[in-house]
A and B are shown apart, each in its own frame.
Chain A
């Protein structure tokens, strides 16, 4: 069964700290992987998309890495800010044209 797991389920850090969110998937033959952010009561915002041939993608303070052989992706957030507080979801597309399979997310709280 193709699953996506995110650990930890929740994380609290003080402002300014660098942090890593983890995502693991059961089948290394993925097509692409996407990280999303969800704010309470809102939809999902796409942060980064990594193709299966890529090792990482960067956008501002965010860096996502992909290691297919170990079935893992990490989302690195540098110099965290209170505005980064949200739930971060990892989603994997195993084949072109198939639906994204989501993890349950990591809820991040950054305190000022």
Chain B
């Protein structure tokens, strides 16, 4: 079983559209993240949720709205897509904030291409 799974793997869409990426983890972790990896392969945090509550929001445009229906899921909805949104989006999870074992486990990524 895949520990952190995200769908879709590839997403090609037109500028101005709205799209969602889904993420699920079966590790029982409390904390989930969204990272963006740009064309230069630089990985940057976007959001972090702990037990369904937003704890990190790194100056991401409000066109990006994460939603966590439960602690095993963290979905990312993007409104009015722009060319600059093209990137690989990674979901990740870790046990939680209160443990020293904070290894991150990553999904395999969603390649978003905005045309």
Contact = CB atoms under 8 A, between A and B. Distances in A.
Contact of A99 (B4, B56, B108): B56
Contacts of B43: 44, 89, 91, 102
Contact of B105 (A46, A97, A100, A105): A46
Interface stretch (B13-21, B61-69, B74-82, B94-102): B94-102
Interface extent on B, as a size class?
Answer: 20 to 34
Interface in A1-56: 32, 34, 36, 41-46, 49, 51
Contact of B103 (A43, A49, A87, A89): A49
A34 B40 CA distance: 21
B114 interface: no
Interface in B83-100: 90, 92, 97-98, 100
Contacts of A98: 56
Closest 6 CB pairs of A and B: A99-B45, A43-B106, A97-B97, A44-B106, A102-B43, A43-B108
Given A44-B106, A97-B50, 11 more contacts: A36-B106, A41-B109, A42-B108, A45-B106, A46-B106, A89-B43, A91-B104, A93-B102, A97-B97, A100-B45, A101-B45
